[in-house]
Amino acid sequence: MKNYWHNAITFDEYLKIAEERFHNNPNKNDEYQEYYELGLQRTNRTVKTYKVENEHIQQLEPKNFNGKILIISEPWCGDASATVPAVSKFFEAAGIEVRIFLRDTDLSLIDQFLTNGTQSIPKIIIVNDDFSVKADWGPRPQFGNDLLKKFKENPETYPREDFYNDLQIYYAKNRGKDAIEEIISLL
């Protein structure tokens, strides 16, 4: 885990990579190219609208957490664009180091944290001071998981487009609050 941490980047570096990939991606065959613009727009919206809530700081304080937060993500991911900025800003404001490991640079990390057998992101890894893993969270808050379950159970009555739309409306209104509360509960 220590090696992954040292190969991870800051949130500001993550934003720079997102900008670069959208405007001038060095990988001309990037299968996610069409998603960078939307991901960047949503990430910037989250950055602008997210506010650290004192209630969350008060929930965090009694946990006496001295570790780190390692996020596995990619800038093209819709779930990440709503969660990663809020989680990064919150934990940094709380004095906890946050780094982001780009999933597609080395799949060996995400392969340790599969979601129902998939490499779904973002994944939030709660790391103790000794780099042992305390817990992990992701790729989306429970409300988003419930929407996904509804879609998978009956895509005829709840089509993919409705699922994606409902999920993005939820993210825009929730502004990372549920994700942060769920992660704090794991500390």
Distance between CA atoms of residues 167 and 141, nearest Å:
10
Rg of the chain (C-alpha set): 16
pLDDT digits (tens, 9 = 90+) for 81-138: 999 999 999 999 999 999 999 999 999 999 999 999 999 999 999 999 999 999 999 9
Question: Domains in the chain and their CATH numbers?
Answer: 2-140+176-186 (3.40.30.10)
AA identity, residue 179:
A
> pLDDT confidence of 14, banded at 50, 70, 90?
very high
Q: In sequence order, which ranges of the chain are alpha helices (DSSP H)?
A: 2-6, 11-24, 33-49, 54-60, 78-93, 107-110, 142-153, 160-174, 177-186
pLDDT in tens, 19-75: 999 998 888 888 888 888 889 999 999 999 999 999 999 999 999 999 999 999 999
Residue located via tokens 């998978």: 152
For the entire predicted model, the pTM comes to 0.94
